[in-house]
A and B are shown apart, each in its own frame.
Chain A
Amino acid sequence: MIPAKFDYEVAESVDHALELLRTRDDAKLIAGGHSLLPLMKLRLASPATLIDVGRLKGLRGVRDGGDHLAIGALTRHNDLNRDPLANQHCPLLAYAAGLVGDPQVRHRGTIGGSLAHGDPASDLPTACLALDATIVAQGPNGERSIPASAFFNGFFDTALGDDEIITEIRVAKNGAAGWSYLKFRQRALDWATVGVAAVVEGSNGTVGTARIALTNMGQTPLRASATEAALSGAPRDAVKQAADKADEGTDPPADTWASSDFRRHLVKVLTKRAVEEALSR
């Protein structure tokens, strides 16, 4: 498998990348390349120019931002998975990063690339959605911050402009909240058939607030709003009842792994388990 021909440019800086994006037609950014290159090999994508941002070392790594962690867009999944700050303050994200693809993919794939790709079956978009992360992008008009809740527009479609590049992901420190990410798939190397991320605060036998996001249940990662509402202030024995609403507002795909109806069933089971696991942490 060989991609169709293209031009290749190495971005020396974020500004250089932006300039290349502005001046080249039909250009795509490439970081780890583990979402884009497979599509190019199958000739399902044939950009005229690739702009390699993979050498922008300044965008790699996790920084303590006080009340939040600032994760460079080029931080690789494996580094995020093993990062001490991430494991301490944002364990859900670190854990989910360890479930993406396989070790080789995690050595190359980046969080920024994963978010920009906008695949509803990916793990990190769901984790960022559950964590109310903020995606920081640079564009021709400077920097802007996009809440995860406004980032995923549609199937492989995000709020990121064609002339923009993600530079950083900001995630509030976890504090006392419990968390869980359950990824249901048949093989370890598969995408999630369904995934559920839960961030839950509870006290004295009741659930406080719950943020629950779903993988591969629609065109984008989705929040399980009905379940979140039902859990707010609810007694702990109401978890199952609340989880049974997890498929409300979803539009799960049907494919060779599962029918749409089975995904609706799975998401309820996984949501119950994820909330219970989060409450136990």
Chain B
Amino acid sequence: MKRITVTVNGVAHEKNVEERELLVYFLRDALGLTGTNVGCDTSSCGACTIHLDGESVKSCTLLAVQADGAEVTTIEGLANGSMHPMQTAFQQHHGLQCGYCTPGMVMAAVSFLNENPSPSDDEIRHGLEGNLCRCTGYHNIVKAVAAVAAGEVS
């Protein structure tokens, strides 16, 4: 066991964790933040994407102990009680169906726009290359991200 302090969605948590505990299970099981999903076991699908110190990462490929001292944002903390423009855009453009990839997709998209605020559609597609969706064919997800970049969503 190791004792770690992680700030999640603005709240500091000090917890004992087993060394082998993955960050995603720490978030889901220890903190009850089940909005972050697990879709694979090979860092392929991106469903577990969160922000670690402001950047998108796959929380299934990080140990909780590696996040000691870090700031984490999950889908639950992206907006305070309402919806972030990216979340609003996903609804307006029907960028989700079953919703399972959605939290990771939204977190990846927000991080992507932080780095590249005015992307082309092709850049958006590559910016989301680490997130798989089986429902939407990505068409409406790309539209949603483009709409946020264009400032069409508040």
Contacts and interface: CB of A to CB of B under 8 A. Distances in A.
A189 interface: yes
A102 B46 contact: yes
Contacts, number: 86
Interface stretch (B74-82, B123-131, B142-150): B123-131
Nearest to B25: A2
Interface range for A: 20 to 34
B62 A103 contact: no
A52 interface: yes
Contact of B112 (A3, A103, A105, A189): A103
A34 B43 contact: yes
A33 B66 contact: yes
B20 A103 contact: no
Interface stretch (B6-14, B51-59, B86-94, B95-103): B51-59
Contact of B130 (A30, A37, A105): A105
Nearest to B18: A5
Interface in A199-236: none
B44 A52 contact: no
Interface string A84-124: 00000000000000000111110110000000000000000
Interface string B32-76: 000000000111101001001001111011110110100000000
A54 interface: yes
Nearest to A34: B61
B108 interface: yes
Interface string B102-117: 0000001001100100
A4 B126 CA distance: 34
B134 interface: no
Contacts of B46: 102, 104
The 5 A-B residue pairs whose C-beta atoms are closest, nearest first, are A102-B130, A1-B41, A188-B129, A8-B19, A107-B55
Given A8-B65, A42-B42, A54-B66, 6 more contacts: A4-B20, A5-B18, A34-B61, A41-B60, A50-B19, A104-B108
Interface of A: 1-8, 10, 30, 33-34, 37-38, 41-42, 50, 52, 54, 78, 82, 101-105, 107-108, 187-189
